[in-house]
């Protein structure tokens, strides 16, 4: 459903059954809503319009225009802000500012976790690190190689339809993510001992992450997320 606007391709966002349509003009969004309605009719799908909202972005202090949007004969509510998969989006704020809301949510969850661990006498550093990573780590993986595998996207797509979104290599799989993707080139140098056997068959990224010393591996995993976040910010 990509729509060309002002010479730029504006793709939609998908995650499981959640979808966000993006457009640079009201007409572009109406086009996508119409396309979505036709697609759903052809495949017997439905959209819950009660959970569907529109955010009209403006610059500075400019007032949002009185635009109205409809889907399936029903008017879609226009709101100043909403959260998509936990990402806070606002009609007068840049997308990049959503990171501060995610960071704050992570801090709140971290303090709650630490309090719960203390209440139960579970304050061993290694246990705290494992609990932190298992509870909070996945919140920051969306769009990465790790999330692609965890959500089953690799299994649902044919190998010919899985190019790497970071370097456009023809096939995004475990071997590519671990040994070839330039996104992690610096990490391969810094953690060379984790990449000693490129010919080794890896059933999953979890298998790769489970084959080395825990402390070193935790730092490597953290750096993976940092590198991915930096790539998205560029």
In DSSP notation, 80-95 reads SEEEETTEEEETTS-G
Contacts of 204 (CB under 8 A, 6+ apart): 149, 174
Mean pLDDT of the chain: 71
Residues 70 and 104 in one domain: no
Residues 180 and 216 in one domain: yes
**43-81 burial: b if 16+ Cβ within 10 Å, else e:** eeeebeeeebebbbeeeeeeeeeeeebebeeeebebeee
User: Which pLDDT belongs to residue 220?
Assistant: 59
C-alpha distances out from residue 58 to 24, 63, 80, 93, 189, Å: 11, 7, 10, 8, 44
Q: Where are the alpha helices (DSSP H) in 7-164?
A: 26-43, 98-119, 125-136, 145-150, 153-156
User: Which pLDDT belongs to residue 69?
Assistant: 92
Residues 27 and 81 in one domain: yes
The residue among 93, 111, 126 that closes a domain is 93
Residues 172 and 195 in one domain: yes
User: Which domain covers residue 217, as residue numbers?
Assistant: 141-234
DSSP state of 19: E
User: Which pLDDT belongs to residue 126?
Assistant: 73
pLDDT at 54 over 80: yes
Q: What angle do CA 188, 189, 191 make, to 5 degrees?
A: 65
Residues 57 and 80 in one domain: yes
pLDDT at 119 over 80: no
Total residues belonging to the chain: 234
Task: Give the tens place of pLDDT for each residue, 137-151.
Answer: 554 444 455 555 555
Residues 103 and 88 in one domain: no
User: Which pLDDT belongs to residue 142?
Assistant: 45
Helices and strands of the chain, counted as H and E runs: 9, 9
Residues 79 and 125 in one domain: no
User: Which pLDDT belongs to residue 214?
Assistant: 46
Residues 181 and 217 in one domain: yes
Residues 112 and 167 in one domain: no
Please indicate whether residue 76 or residue 212 has the higher confidence score (pLDDT). Answer: 76
User: Which pLDDT belongs to residue 45?
Assistant: 86
Of 28-32, 55-59, 61-65, 73-77, which range is least confident? 61-65
CB atoms inside a 10 Å sphere around CB 215: 10
Q: What's the domain count of the chain?
A: 3
Residues 58 and 147 in one domain: no
Residues 26 and 58 in one domain: yes
Backbone angles phi, psi at 60, to 5 degrees: 60, -130
Distance CA 31, CA 23 (A): 9
pLDDT confidence tier of residue 93, bands split at 50, 70 and 90: confident
Residues 58 and 122 in one domain: no
Distance CA 57, CA 89 (A): 10
The residue among 36, 63, 93 that closes a domain is 93
């Amino acid at each position: 459903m990509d729509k060309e606007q002002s010479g730029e391709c504006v793709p939609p966002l998908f995650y499981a059954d959640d979808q966000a349509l993006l457009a640079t003009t009201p007409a572009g969004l109406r086009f996508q809503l119409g396309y979505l309605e036709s697609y759903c009719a052809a495949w017997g799908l439905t959209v819950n319009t009660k959970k569907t909202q529109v955010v009209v972005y403006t610059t500075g202090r400019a007032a949002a225009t009185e635009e109205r949007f409809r889907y399936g004969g029903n008017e879609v509510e226009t709101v100043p802000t909403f959260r998509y998969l936990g990402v806070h989006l606002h009609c007068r704020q840049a997308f990049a500012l959503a990171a501060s809301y995610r960071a704050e949510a992570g801090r709140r969850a971290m303090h709650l976790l630490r309090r719960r661990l203390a209440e139960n006498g579970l304050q061993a550093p290694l246990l705290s690190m494992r609990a932190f990573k298992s509870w909070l780590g996945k919140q920051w993986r969306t769009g990465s190689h790790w999330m692609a595998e965890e959500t089953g996207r690799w299994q649902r797509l044919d190998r010919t339809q899985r190019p790497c979104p970071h370097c456009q290599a023809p096939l995004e799989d475990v071997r590519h993510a671990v040994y070839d993707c330039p996104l992690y080139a610096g990490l391969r140098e810094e953690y060379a001992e984790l990449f000693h056997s490129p010919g080794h068959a890896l059933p999953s990224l979890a298998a790769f992450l489970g084959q080395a010393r825990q402390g070193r591996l935790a730092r490597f995993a953290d750096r993976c997320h940092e590198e991915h976040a930096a790539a998205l910010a560029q």
